[in-house]
Structure 1
Amino acid sequence: MQLVELDVSRNDIIEIPETISYCKALQVADFSGNPLTRLPESFSELQNLTCLSINDISLQILPENIGKLSNLVSLELRENLLTYLPESLSLLHRLEELDLGNNEIYNLPETIGCLVSLKNLWLDGNQLAELPAEIGSMKSLLCLDVSENKLEHLPEEIGGLVSLTDLLVSQNLIDALPEGIGKLRRLSILKADQNRLAQLPESIGNCESLTELILTENQLQSVPRSIGKLKRLSNFNCDRNRLASLPKEIGGCSSLNVFCVRENRLTRIPSEISQASELHVFDVSGNRLLHLPISLTALRLKALWLSENQSQPLLTFQNDIDPESGEKVLTCVLLPQQPLEPDSKGSDNLARCGALESLVNDMVDDTWDDKATKRISAIHFLDDDDEDDEKGRLMRQATPHPGELKSMKKAVENLRNDLNAAKALDSNKNEVNNTTVTTSV
């Protein structure tokens, strides 16, 4: 009866006895990973319970009397079979952590907004199609994870989460973020990758604390000019979208450290990018760039990716003149960018260029130069007429990935060692044979 903490997780317990109610002093209980299907009715008598973990026990129904655990601070229900939440859950006014990830919950009760002390709410991996407007009442909420659901939109009231620092909405069906998101002045991390976003609201620039913005695999065609107001933004990933241009205001992101816009439709990079003086990693591979701005040399870049199969993070650039504008630009062997064409055998020839695959599949519009797409990196030599044509040209093959280079180097070293060992063995045999011959003579 003086027991304060009980951990019987990861066993084969099939039932919790009703006599658990005698443990009046119990504060922490963990029953996770057992073949349980229900909780005893007497559970509600554990008035001193503050932390309850019942993850992965195939629980289908959360008892209505769960609301009587008035001192509960942390409730973990991850990886169960819950389809709905009881209304009494709203009575847990001291609850700070609620983990409902990886269940089968289809909707949240409107009373969820009554959890005014809640700081962390995990709802990832469920079947949610919408969030109630009342969720905006959680003024203390720091982290909201609703990734891997079926959300098509977020309520405008989400702007009421004034304390929110982490908003995770990845892998949903969201086509637009609400303007109210600009009210989240403390928001530090926004992950909205793998959705259907066609545009970002101008109000995104008001999220002044944003440090990480992940928008990979959406349908964005542009980035709002207000993006330049995000002075603390450090990591910006907008890979695999439909961006045709970048606003010059992007240079205002003075803390930008990693900027990835791989596999888009960019034809130029604004020269103002050089104002982002902290930029170290810039990934523009899989686009349609003809050249780079000369201002890029002002940055202390550690990696500039123009192609997925680059052998090194930085290349040697040469100055050139843009024939259209007459301005000085940078170019190299990988510029202008171009897609790889399927070879004559029908294979896509993208073994080491997977990042360009979606770009190649989308190359049906007329914005790309036909001459560039038909260019073949081959060097021809004069030779006799009776020789095979394949012997008269030198093809430029894809540069191996650094990991492949290491494997190739190791294989060559092993081969060299084997050859040296074989030569040494042959040398020893020859010495023995010579000695035998001399003795015989």
Structure 2
Amino acid sequence: MLKCIPLWRCNRHVESVDKRHCNLQNVPDEIFRYSRSLEELLLDANQLRDLPKPFFRLLNLRKLGLSDNEIQRLPPEVANFMQLVELDISRNDIPEIPESIKFCKALEIADFSGNPLSRLPDGFTQLRGLAHLALNDPDTLGALPKLRELWLDRNQLSSLPPELGNLRRLVCLDMSENRLEELPSELSGLLALTDLLLTHNLLEVVPDSIGSLKQLSILKVDQNRLTHLSDSIGECENLTELVLTENLLQTLPRSLGKLKKLTNLNADRNRLGSVPDELGGCASLNVLSLRDNRVAKLPAQLADATELHVLDVAGNRLQNLPFALANLNLKAMWLAENQSQPMLKFQTEDEESTGEKVLTCYLLPQQPSSSLGELALLRHLLHHNLLPPLSLPLFSSFFLGFSLFTDFLYLFLHTLCISSFLHFL
């Protein structure tokens, strides 16, 4: 005699369940029916507060997404997930990771960021296969030898442990948007590092040990307080992209000319008064951006960078351009903020003081304008809470987040309060 089999019994072999953005307050009971087959479970962006005991019977899980919930505790039963490869519990209210996490031996990708973690458990260092980690607190990281990607961005970190240098296989390190004032010299131990992201910190120097990073391809140190860039940067022989925007640099090191693979150099909004002749030695340079500085003259040797296609020197103090630049196959040369076309028509004339042939056009000599550079600096100081507070809380909250005009007006009010402070920068 045939019997009707319930639909839920027919559907027990389910490998993936996606319940993201479903306003769930509890883990649906139906999920527990798939304990023998379920490998991927996505419960991100709900209102979950607790994980029930049956949840930890999903022994075949390989990927678990619980980000953007209200979970307050990760139970020790997480040790049951011995097949788990990827775990995302970011942006919850979890104060600690249980010691039993050490039994998740297959774990390769873990995101714990956005939780009020005070520390990582000692057993965490036993996760020898972990290759990608995102979290708030960098302590104990040195004992994770297989770690390849480390994301520490958007925290309030003011320092890094020297043990960071033990991560010999680390390829990508993102420490953007923190409060770092210095980097440990042990950074030189990151011999496999290709991407180093340090945007939006408080760094005044990059350590000389940066030259030990022979595999480094991308270095972003924009929006810091750099007053000096170490000559050792020229030893980073594989560097292709260097971003130094919005710092306090007055010079660039001559050793940059040794970077034969450098394709993109951006040093906008600094205090550069000159450009080193050696920059012409950057044989692969495609884009050079020096916008909003104080450069009065470009070196003729820049024409030796024969791959240069984009040159942005708007907002400087140039009187003319070297005649040799006419030999470059430029596709864009920017001399002014309001320039309508990427390329201009140049005329040749003799410079009065030297008699040398130079290039000129209707946008030369440049009219110096530092307002944009000052605005960028003030925004940077404001972001890091380095400005004295205005006694206008109503107006300041009103101005913040509006257009460039209101943004500038807000910052102008700050400028009136801190002119003496800026004088010493």
TM range (shorter): 0.7 to 0.9
Identity score, percent = 48
Taking the TM superposition and a 5 Å limit, the aligned residue runs for 1:335-350 are 335-339=364-368
The count of aligned residue pairs is: 342
Aligned letter for 1:153? Answer: E
Return the match for 2:260 from 215, 231, 249: 231
Partner of residue 135, structure 1? 164
User: 1:82-140: CA deviations, max 9, x gaps?
Assistant: 3433333222111001012xxxx4x532x311110000000000111111111111111
Would the aligned equivalents of 2:77 and 2:100 in 1 still touch at CA under 8 Å?
no
Q: Residue 84 in 1 paired to residue 119 in 2? A: yes
Q: Which moved more, 1:64-73 or 1:228-237?
A: 64-73
Return the match for 1:33 from 68, 91, 109: 68
Partner of residue 22, structure 1? 57
1:63: Cα distance to partner? 2.6
TM-score, normalising length: structure 2: 0.77
d(CA) in 2 for partners of 1:32, 1:356 = 39
Partner of residue 280, structure 2? 251
Taking the TM superposition and a 5 Å limit, the aligned residue runs for 1:142-221 are 142-221=171-250
Partner of residue 125, structure 1? 154
User: 1:350-389: CA deviations, max 9, x gaps?
Assistant: xxx9747669x9xxxxxxxxxxxxxxxxxxxxxxxxxxxx
Partner of residue 329, structure 1? 358
1:46: Cα distance to partner? 1.7
Gaps of 5+ in 1: 341-352, 362-441
Partner of residue 305, structure 1? 334
1:219: Cα distance to partner? 0.8
Q: Residue 108 in 1 paired to residue 138 in 2? A: yes
Partner of residue 93, structure 1? 128
Give 3-state SS (helix, strand or coil) of 1:144's partner.
strand
Would the aligned equivalents of 1:244 and 1:264 in 2 still touch at CA under 8 Å?
yes
Report the CA distance shift for 1:304/1:66 in structure 2 as closer, same or farther (over 3 A).
same
Aligned letter for 2:322? Answer: P
1:19: Cα distance to partner? 2.8
1:64: Cα distance to partner? 3.1
Would the aligned equivalents of 2:41 and 2:64 in 1 still touch at CA under 8 Å?
yes
User: 1:391-427: CA deviations, max 9, x gaps?
Assistant: xxxxxxxxxxxxxxxxxxxxxxxxxxxxxxxxxxxxx
Would the aligned equivalents of 1:339 and 1:356 in 2 still touch at CA under 8 Å?
no
d(CA) in 1 for partners of 2:107, 2:261 = 36
Q: Which moved more, 1:35-44 or 1:270-279?
A: 35-44
Give 3-state SS (helix, strand or coil) of 1:333's partner.
coil
Alignment RMSD: 1.9
Give 3-state SS (helix, strand or coil) of 2:353's partner.
coil
Q: Which moved more, 1:226-235 or 1:84-93?
A: 84-93
Give 3-state SS (helix, strand or coil) of 1:19's partner.
helix
User: 1:218-238: CA deviations, max 9, x gaps?
Assistant: 111111111011111111100
Q: Which has the larger radius of gyration?
A: 1
Aligned letter for 2:44? Answer: S
Gaps of 5+ in 2: 1-34, 379-425
Give 3-state SS (helix, strand or coil) of 1:185's partner.
coil
Aligned letter for 1:140? Answer: R
Would the aligned equivalents of 1:35 and 1:57 in 2 still touch at CA under 8 Å?
yes
d(CA) in 2 for partners of 1:239, 1:60 = 41
